[in-house]
Structure 1
Amino acid sequence: MSDTCAVLHDPRGLIEAELPLDRAPYEALITAVLAWKDPDLAPRDYEQIALQFTGHARAVAADVRRLAAALPKGEGRGALAEVVLREADSRLSAPLKGTARCVQNRARLVQALYTRLDCLTESVASTA
């Protein structure tokens, strides 16, 4: 084992942009969580699921930011993305609670970010 390490400097997030999100498991989890009627989980279980959604929401938001920045200034879709991102930042800054409602709110946030990501992906593809 070496005593040296390399520091990665990627201020524009290009390496992260090359890594695709593993979307299918999160979409399945969103579907399951939003279908809950009266779940009976321990608070720590709700917190763990909410943490999963929080981390994934941050990753999706980074992709939304990157694609929105690629659109021409004044593009309506980019402006809408900024609104969604501000809302996401606000909701992600709220403390987690060990409740089903908190988990469902995080699931809806990831769902909204994916919707915006899909719209931006189409927009960037059509302008390219």
Structure 2
Amino acid sequence: MPVNKPVDEPFTPEQLRTAWLEYAEQRKKFQAEYQMLTQPFEIRNNVIVVSLLSPIHDTMLNNIKSEIASFLRDKLRNNTIQVKGELQASSDDTRKVMYTPREKFEYLMEKNPMLKELRDRLGLDTDY
């Protein structure tokens, strides 16, 4: 007698979002988790990719990833669903901190090259 394999039913992005938000509401008392769960996510071949803002969110997601996947698999009747996080690169991390007046002025000159001409014409010293 053959063993019946559970059927992996297809689901729509709307069904997934509804189930995801239902799970998020259950975690609302954990404010940091709730914030992470309300971040945007993508669906890539039954893999839900959550946009994470910090390494802390990555750790939190890893702690509850199997629970979320189980909830969604039961809710949507599809055992192929997986959850994964992707850390979003922040533009602030790549920016150099400017300390000296010269560094600040050079940064401003990149934004507005006319400042160099103004400095030269007026004979200004940026290293005061």
User: Normalising TM by the smaller chain, what interval?
Assistant: under 0.3
- Comparing both chains, which one has the higher relative contact order based on Cα–Cα distances under 8 Å and sequence gaps of 6 or more? 1
User: Which has more radius of gyration?
Assistant: 2
TM-score (norm. length: structure 1)? 0.27
More strand by share: 2
More helix by share: 1
